A and B are shown apart, each in its own frame.
Chain A
Amino acid sequence: MITYIDKIGRLLTSNIQYIIRVLLMIYLSIRATILDQHQGLRTIIGVVSAQIYFTGWQAIPLISVLALASGSITILQSSSELSLLGGSEMIGNLLVVIMVREIGPLLTALVVVARSGSAVATEVGNMRANREIEALESIGINPLSFIVFPRITGGVISVICLCFYFVVIALIGGFFLTRIIDEMPLNFYLDSLVQALTAEDFFLFLIKTGFSGTIIFSISCYQGLAVKRSYHEVPQVTTKAVVDSIIVVTLFNMSVTVLFYLEQLMMLGGV
């Protein structure tokens, strides 16, 4: 029994240490960027825009396919079920809850983990093994402001934009795709969506996508920097970065949803 408790304790401690280290890296990278008087805005914008290009722009085809598929399936299923129950006007509310609050942020984050989180972990890990990080230090360039900060910033912007794109394509593109078999009027559909959207949805959307971007790119950079000296560590840290990012992003999205509905229930006096 004590051994069991001991194991749980160790697991908890190591996870807390891990989170603290990642948070410390984020803090130090922001601090380094502010304190680095030599690193001009042009250098930062250059790396940030490259990151947005790789993470955001190049992911558009994959995101489009996923958004169209998930959007059309959700619209088709919910419209047929709702019309059976006689609640067709609720379609907007249902789609906002599913697409804007839940599926959009989570699916986009998972795509970004698979495409870009792994790429960043590999890139930084190779830089470490190839002594490029040491080289930067030797010429007085702080890797935290030159490598980490622009990747996190570019990643966060990309995830927010990609998720917005996902939601638009899923809701609008998905609707036009379902018109082949379902004759729902466009005005009715758009009206239902606009009525359903609230400020809380935008808030939840921004919280989920912004933090997911931060989580994915900070874990990926942290794991990349964890490579000590050898190239054989690179695939190991890449796998760890992907697995950790998926777990943390999923848990984060789940926690935000639970907290949000808990608050709603409290406001209604249910808890």
Chain B
Amino acid sequence: MNALIKSLHFEKMTFHYEGQEPLLKNVDFEFPVGKRETPCNVAAGRALDKRCTASRQTQVIAIRGAQGAGNSTVMQILAGLQTPTLGSYLINGVPVENMSFEEFLPFRLRMGYGFDTGGLLSNRTLFENLVLPLNYHKICSPQEAERRALTLMERFQLIDFKDLRIAYVSPSLRKMTVLIRSIIMDPEILFLDDPNIRISKEAQQMYAELLRELINNETLHTIFIASFEESFFSYFDYTTIYLEERQLFNSERSRQKIIAISQ
């Protein structure tokens, strides 16, 4: 299956919330997107397979910065939920800020977004929240949508609460539902904003297991994770993008070098 989203790029991009200092200032950054070639000896479980040459695995990218630095904002801009104040955000070389909702929709349908807080419709049950995107966009038949949602709810022990509205369930169940919904449309790119908060260690591990299964999935090619907690990253082989001084850096070394030059 051919990927629709081939590149994500910030071009002289500045972003600030109304009446606040900029969180990102004049950022030029090309995000790594797409499956990466993994040498045979690195690919998990393949080391002893002599026929193995190389595999193509989903990239896991950590966006890391100090608390309040704008990690979530970067994710929201990448998912098209915020538009840059100045400059451009380009998907496949096309500026997103000039696109209408309908023009951006094909990209949107290939993205999954796991909110850090909120993000579920309060007048619907947990089950209805999960099947809504599938049924609305007619991604599959209503029976298939139901099957997909119930399978995931069963796996994450949400099945007993499926007919309850979100106000009647605990924050951890809501968070789990948001995380499940982010992958229900079989996305190409997954954005997870603080996926480890409000859920137990066991639930974190179960979700990480699911993501590890998806790493070998044909469609999903990139996972962006914004989190302060080291523990969630320990489940993956990941690369880091640093957010510091309102800029994005590819590696620790380049970050230190640029900061040293600017000082």
Contact = CB atoms under 8 A, between A and B. Distances in A.
Contact of A131 (B102, B108, B119): B119
Q: How large is the interface on A (under 10, 10 to 19, 20 to 34, 35 or more residues)?
A: 20 to 34
A32 B118 contact: no
A43 interface: yes
Contacts of B122: 126-127, 130, 132
A60 interface: no
A35 to B, nearest CB: 5
B118 A130 contact: yes
Contacts of B117: 131
B164 interface: no
A43 B81 CA distance: 24
A135 interface: yes
A136 B136 CA distance: 11
A145 to B, nearest CB: 9
Contacts of A134: 76, 81, 115, 118-119
Interface in B167-224: 181, 185
Interface string A28-43: 0000100110110001
A139 B115 contact: no
A137 B136 CA distance: 13
A131 B117 CA distance: 8
B113 interface: yes
Interface residues of B, number: 27
A140 to B, nearest CB: 5
Interface in B79-121: 79-81, 101-102, 105, 108-109, 111, 113, 115, 117-121
Chain B residues touching A, majority SS = loop
Given A32-B101, A35-B102, A135 B118 contact: yes
B136 A141 contact: yes
Nearest to B79: A138
Q: Which of A32, A137, A138, A228: most chain B Cβ within 10 A?
A: A138
Nearest to B100: A35
B100 to A, nearest CB: 8
Interface in A92-139: 126-127, 130-132, 134-139
A135 B119 contact: yes
B95 to A, nearest CB: 18
Contacts of B32: none
Contacts of A141: 132-133, 136
Nearest to A143: B101
Given A39-B136, A43-B136, A138 B109 contact: no
30 contacts: A35-B102, A38-B136, A38-B138, A43-B136, A126-B122, A131-B117, A131-B119, A132-B118, A132-B122, A134-B76, A134-B115, A134-B118, A135-B118, A135-B119, A135-B120, A135-B121, A136-B121, A137-B80, A137-B108, A138-B81, A139-B132, A139-B133, A139-B136, A139-B185, A140-B108, A140-B109, A141-B132, A141-B133, A141-B136, A228-B18
Interface of A: 32, 35-36, 38-39, 43, 126-127, 130-132, 134-142, 144, 228
Given A35-B102, A140-B105, 13 more contacts: A36-B102, A38-B136, A39-B136, A126-B122, A127-B121, A131-B118, A131-B119, A134-B119, A137-B108, A139-B136, A140-B133, A141-B132, A228-B17
